[in-house]
Amino acid sequence: MITGKRVTLAAAALALAGIGLLPVLTMIARSFFVDGRLGMEAYAALFASSQRLLPWFGNSLLLASLISFSATIIGAPLGVLLARTDLPWRGVFAVLFALPFFVPPYVIAAAWFSALDQSGSIGRLLPEGASEFLSSTFFGLSGCVVSLTTSFTPIVMLLTMAYISAVNPRLEQAGLLASRWPNVLWRITLPLIAPAIVFASVLVFLLTLGEVGVPTFLRYPVYPTEVLTQFAAFYDFSAATAAALPLLLVAAMVLTLEKSLQRTSSATIGASMTNAPNGAIALGRWRLPLLWVVSLWMFATVITPFAALLGQAASLDALAQAFARGGDSILRSVVFASVGATFLTLSGFFCGYLIHHKALAIWRSVDALTLFLFTLPGTVVGVGLISLWNHPSTNVIYATPAIVILGFLAQYALIPTRMTAAVLQRIPPSLENAAELAGAGWFTILGEIVAPIAKRGLIATWTICYIFCVRDLGIAMVVYPPGSDTLTVRIMTLMANGAPSLIAALCLILIIVTLAPLLAAVFWRAASRPFT
Amino acid sequence: MNRLAPLALFALAIIMTIVGWWLLAPEGGESVVVYVSHDEVFSEPILKDFEKETGIEVRAVYDTEETKSAGAMNRLIAEKSNPQADVYWANEPIRAEVLRQQKIAAPYLSPNAAGIPESFRDPLGYWTGFAARARVLIVRQDVDPKPTSIFSYLDPQWRGKAVIANPLFGTTTDEIAALFVLLGDEDARSFMETMRDNDVKTAPSNGDSADLVSRGQFAFSLVDSDDAVSRMSRHERAIMVYPDQGADEIGSLIVPNAAVLIAGAPHPDAARKLIDYLLSVETERKLAFSDAAQIPLHSGVKTPPGVKPIEAIKTMAVDYAAVATKLQEIQPYLKNWAATR
């Protein structure tokens, strides 16, 4: 029994290492070879040009810090407001605020630009000088901040919402006996979810640090452009790998900091499943003003860019064109993302279990590996996959969509692992212990106790994995097999001289395809609700 | 039921994988794999027509703007020992020439190449040019007098008012490398330094710099003719000027597409058929009448009003192989130049 558990968890960890770490190690190992012989030229060249690269690196750090700060300062209160208060239309707000997360950031930047442009919905309302100033100011750091804050705030908001729902209601109830909600929120709830907010903030920092599309579009020079340049302009894989290493070092430092912050936090979440959650926090006289503030913010940051996108796509002709040119890609995106999400949920379940229960001595390494892989730019993971799998004997992987699925499993392993660990945290260990004492095998415990209790969490995990897979661009762009592009890749390839209405229509379809499982879940819940 | 939940999830994964593979697997008939650096919006209709006419399924990998039209090239290099592609449709001949130098290209002399001038094809058939773009100036409509030469970038009257795409990428790199070949290293470096001193701005791509001009932020930019034509067809405030057309001037650089047969191509017969199709008069005519507004290289091909026939343009006389070699040589210099912007 114990052996079965250990073997299964070890196999999951090994599979993760094989799928994710091996390609990266292969790529790094190759960067030490120049023309077939061992050499450090790539790293020497990087060191020699460090003076030139430092300002770009500084820009990257500045941008990542700004986005991390702004997304946290906006996303965390928004998450609390939408998850725990009696603000009207919270569900609608949550879906609308999450929308930017469902499309690649460069689409958001393009949408913002079309709104601010002189002929755009905002630009044409302004005097010519003002609109010119606005659209030219948008190019640079300010545009990057606006676009990426719009894109990444939902991450902080959604994680805050998820974690605040997991806070043990007994702790808040105890606090409410002695104090009122604002104090309970400040002194009990927020400290409990602080590690989740820090994690979300770190996630945003790292995603911004690796972002290329938006800074390139808005002409703000950042360090990852250097990595792309090495790939794109010089066909130099070794130099590109060497250039990526400083990014990895910063990522590792930030993750270590996050870990140490989490360790110093003495609070635990661990809601008891037998307790009903606390009721919504009554906003009282603040309800209406806050509704106004949230509505205005939503109008400014979500409705404005998306309306510009919709305005361009709003013709039957554009939609017909989009289906004609992207129909196959839409189908492929759905299938790849569904398969990827299913395998991710499966592997993430075991890795999350391993981490939560610290079931093997390597649990820290597995946790660190998933984080490391998540922070790697998709293009780097993609090139690593090419380095490892591009052989005649492995064409069954390399020349088929399996390579894309492997890329998803490597890059997004963090999501199901962390989510499963969070879900398992809500299951009292006594349940498993009791079953074990009663003689139940591990697989029986999983099937009879863990899976039924974690069912909702696992469905949520699958949905989030699906969303990450369907909006992926970095991996798919580098490794998609001939004739098997995904919708995000199709949008990118058509962006070069494609009609704006066609691009907008494809983006609209991408949003619908991404939201499909969420909509299905909403309909399913509505349909399964008993008539009263 | 609950006991079976993990198994059911696993079974679902397997079923979805099989259904997905079945839905998305390539059809069983003859097929050809092509990597394409030309814009998908223009190249896909041509490949669809080929599929319709020959019954050969085309499986394509397209480049994206984000990879600066070099993603396909990088894949070809990475796959050198295990080629997946049969044909590379390059959007300019320099990359095709680099593939020849790296022994990734194979020779093929297509019968349809006969009508294409020798200056636009490799003599041994490692690449063959077709349907070209010209390097032109896109100029804001209200600018007067209008610049007529790429050396206008050095003219103090345009200080801070001109923009050029990043010379590390795409056809702008080709143009700079061609200038190095044509003028010699010293004069070409002087051209680059003076351009920097004259506060010429850089944009990420030709498309971006064309937008910056047509939206009124700059007076002119050196771009590809299709970039200029597309802005003009959208009635934006810009016109196209073929540069350096005077008798003793250097002419406009012509950038043909290039068809390359890949060494060790898995489907060589289908690959040759596709290359023949790409090099046909009919394909050149279609590309001329598309929004890509490409210039046919076969003589006598009908062109729309906005596209000048190749005979009517004074073209820059360069050897593309020499440009490719020079391009690789000057990359460190260009990188430094771009970094000091």
**B138-153 per-position pLDDT tens digit:** 999 998 899 999 999 9
A433 sits in which H/E element: helix A429-437
Q: Are residues B214 and B335 in the same domain?
A: yes
Rounded to 5 degrees, what are φ and ψ at A153?
-55, -40
Quick one: A10 and A128 in the same domain? no
CATH code: domain of residue A425 = 1.10.3720.10
Establish if A163 touches chain B: CB-CB under 8 angstroms: no
Same domain, A14 and A68: no
Question: At residue B15, does pLDDT exceed 90?
Answer: no
pLDDT of B173 over the 80 cut: yes
In a shared domain, residues A335 and A258:
no
Contacts of B208 in chain A (CB under 8 A): 219
Question: Looking at chain A, which residue has its C-alpha nearest residue B5?
Answer: A447
DSSP character at residue A242: H
Residue position matching structure tokens 């390097």: B135
Share of chain A above pLDDT 90, in %: 25
Greater confidence, A226 or A385?
A385
Q: Which helix (H) or strand (E) holds B90?
A: strand B87-90
Q: How far is CA A473 from CA A470, A485, A514, B324, in A?
A: 9, 10, 13, 31
Task: Indicate if the pLDDT at residue B27 is higher than 80.
Answer: no
Contacts with B, A 446-465, CB within 8 Å: 446-448, 451-452, 455, 458
Residues A6, A84, single domain; the answer is no
Same-domain check for residues A366 and A488: yes
Confidence (pLDDT) at A266? 42
pLDDT for position A253? 80
User: A379 and A250 in one domain?
Assistant: no
Do A218 and A353 reside in the same domain of the chain? no
Instruction: Categorize the per-residue pLDDT at A496 as very low, low, confident or very high, splitting at 50, 70 and 90.
Output: low
> Are residues B197 and B286 both part of a single domain?
no
Q: Which residues pair with B121 in a beta bridge?
A: B128
In a domain, A532, yes or no: no
Output the pLDDT for position B1.
46
Tokens (6 digits) for B87: 């044909």
B14 touches chain A (CB under 8 A): no
Where residue A268 falls among pLDDT bands split at 50, 70, 90? very low
* Three-state DSSP class for residue B139: strand
Chain B residues touching A27 at Cβ < 8 A: none
- When CB atoms are compared, the residue of A232, A392, A398 closest to B169 is A232
In this prediction, residue A113 carries a pLDDT of 80
Residues B138 and B247 in one domain: yes
pLDDT at B131: 96
d(CA A114, CA A101): 19
Tell me the pLDDT of chain A averaged across its residues: 83
Average pLDDT of chain B, as a whole number: 88
Q: What is the pLDDT of residue B322?
A: 93
Give the phi and the psi of residue A54 in degrees, each rounded to 5.
Answer: -55, -45
B4 touches chain A (CB under 8 A): yes
Contact, B59 vs A483, CB < 8 A?
yes
In a domain, B316, yes or no: no
Is there a single domain that holds both residue B239 and residue B139? yes
Q: Give the residue with greater pLDDT, A386 vs A269.
A: A386
Same-domain check for residues A28 and A84: no
A350 vs A426, residue with greater confidence: A350
Domain assignment of residue A163, yes or no: yes
Is the four-CA dihedral A384, B22, A460, A362 of positive or negative sign? negative
- H/E stretch holding A195 reads helix A190-209
**B145: in domain:** yes
Q: Which residues of B touch A219 (CB under 8 A)?
A: 203-204, 208
The answer to whether residue A398 neighbours chain B at the CB level (below 8 Å) is: yes
Whether residue A353 lies inside any domain: the answer is: yes
Q: Is residue A280 part of a domain?
A: no
pLDDT on residue B64: 67
Say if A431 falls within a structural domain: yes
pLDDT at res. B256: 96
3-state secondary structure of A166: coil
Instruction: List, in sequence order, every residue forming a beta bridge with B134; answer none if it has no partner.
Output: B254
Residue A267: its pLDDT value, please?
Answer: 44
Condensed to tens digits (0 to 9), the pLDDT of residues A438-448 reads 888 888 888 88
Q: SS3 of A40, please? A: coil
* ipTM value: 0.77
B319 found inside a domain: no
A229 touches chain B (CB under 8 A): yes
* Residue B158 sits in the same domain as residue B241: yes
Structure tokens at A390: 């591009």
In a domain? residue A418: yes
* pLDDT grade for B65, boundaries at 50, 70 and 90: low
Where is mean pLDDT largest: A31-45, A248-262, A419-433?
A: A419-433
For residues A27 and A69, membership in a common domain is answered with no
Answer whether residue B64 is part of any domain: yes
Give the pLDDT of residue B184.
Answer: 95
Expressed as residue numbers, the domain containing B201 is 133-253+326-339
Query: CB–CB of B49/B56 below 8 Å?
Result: no
Q: For A496-531, b where at least 16 C-beta lie within 10 A, e where not — what string?
A: bbbbebbbbbbbbbbbebbbbbbeeeeeeeeeeeee
Condensed to tens digits (0 to 9), the pLDDT of residues A70-104 reads: 999 999 999 999 988 889 988 889 989 988 887 77
Search chain A and give the residue with CA nearest B7.
A447
Asked which of A117-121, B234-238, B329-333 is least confident by mean pLDDT, the reply is: A117-121
Whether B97 and B224 map to the same domain: the answer is: no
CA-based nearest residue in chain B for residue A131 = B215
Contact by Cβ (8 Å): A162, A422: yes
A352-368 residue pLDDT tens: 999 999 989 999 899 88
pLDDT for the residue numbered B46 = 96
Percentage of chain B lying above the pLDDT 90 cut: 60
Task: Report residue A275's pLDDT band, with 50, 70 and 90 as the boundaries.
Answer: low
Whether residue A460 sits in one domain with residue A324: yes
Residues B168 and B213 in one domain: yes
Does a structural domain hold residue B314?
Answer: no
- pLDDT at residue A341 greater than cutoff 90: yes
Please give the DSSP secondary-structure letter assigned to residue B322: H
A48 pLDDT exceeds 60? Answer: yes
In a domain, B13, yes or no: no
Query: Could you give the CA distance from residue A511 to residue A531 in angstroms, rounded to a whole number?
Result: 32
Say whether residue B66 is in contact with chain A using an 8 A CB cutoff: yes
Residue A505: the pLDDT is 87
Q: Does residue B34 lie in a domain region?
A: yes
Co-location of B247 and B262 in the same domain: no
Q: Do residues A233 and A358 share a domain?
A: no
Which has more confidence, A226 or A31? A31
Q: 3-state SS of chain A: helix, strand, coil percent to 5?
A: 80, 0, 20
- Indicate if the alpha-carbon torsion angle A224, B331, B223, A487 is positive or negative: negative
> Which residue would you say has higher pLDDT here, A474 or B26?
A474
Which chain B residues are Cβ-neighbours of A499 within 8 angstroms? 41
Cβ–Cβ < 8 Å for A95, A149: no
| Residue range B269-297: mean pLDDT, rounded | 94
* Helical residues (DSSP H) of A299-315, grouped into ranges: 304-313
pLDDT score, position A111 = 83
B147 CA: distance to closest CA in chain A (Å)? 24
Exposure on the CB side of residue B145, measured as CA atoms within 13 A: 6
Report CA-CA distances (Å) from B76 to B79, B173, B262. Answer: 5, 20, 9
- pLDDT tens per residue, range A3-44: 788 899 999 999 999 999 998 888 888 778 776 777 777 787
At residue A53, does pLDDT exceed 80?
no
Higher confidence at residue A379 or residue B123? B123
Q: Which of A235, A330, A389 to mutate to test the interface with B (most CBs of B within 10 A)?
A: A235
According to the model, what pLDDT value does residue A175 have? 81
To the nearest whole percent, how much of chain A has pLDDT over 70?
88
Taking the CA of residue B242 and the nearest CA in chain A, the distance in Å comes to: 21
Residue B20 lies in a domain: no
Whether the pLDDT of residue A435 is over 50: the answer is yes
Answer whether B212 touches A (CB < 8 Å): no
Residue from A424, A418, A412 nearest A466 by CA: A412
> pLDDT for A184-219, tens place per residue?
888 888 888 888 888 889 889 988 988 877 887 787
Closest chain A C-alpha to B39 CA, distance in angstroms: 6
Asked if A337 and A470 count as a contact pair (C-beta separation under 8 A), the reply is yes
Q: What residues contact B252, with CB distance under 8 A and at least 6 apart?
A: B134, B135, B136, B242, B243, B244, B245, B313, B314, B315, B316
Give chain A's domain count.
Answer: 2
A499 or B10, which is more confident = A499
Q: Are residues A20 and A409 in contact, defined by beta-carbon separation less than 8 angstroms?
A: yes
**Per-residue confidence (pLDDT) for residue A532, from 0 to 100:** 45
Check whether residue A159 and residue A294 sit in a common domain: yes
CA–CA distance, A223 with A183 (Å, rounded to integer): 43
CATH number of the CATH domain containing B117: 3.40.190.10
Instruction: Judge whether residue B209 has pLDDT over 80.
Output: yes
Residue B335 and residue B219 share a domain:
yes
Q: Are residues B165 and B127 in the same domain?
A: no
The number of folded domains in chain B is 2
Q: Is residue A251 very low, low, confident or very high in pLDDT (cuts 50, 70, 90)?
A: confident
- In this structure, the answer to whether residues B101 and B197 fall within a common structural domain is no
List the single best residue of A497, A501, A502, A503 to mutate versus B (max B Cβ within 10 A). Answer: A497
Give the range of the structural domain holding residue A421, as residue numbers without chain letter: 1-39+314-525
| B9 at interface of A, judged by CB pairs closer than 8 A | yes
Poorest-pLDDT segment among A171-185, A324-338, B51-65, B278-292: A171-185
Checking if the pLDDT of B158 tops 90, the result is: yes
Distance from CA of B74 to the nearest CA of A (A): 6
B124 and B195 together in one domain: no
Six-digit token pair at A266?
A: 């003495």
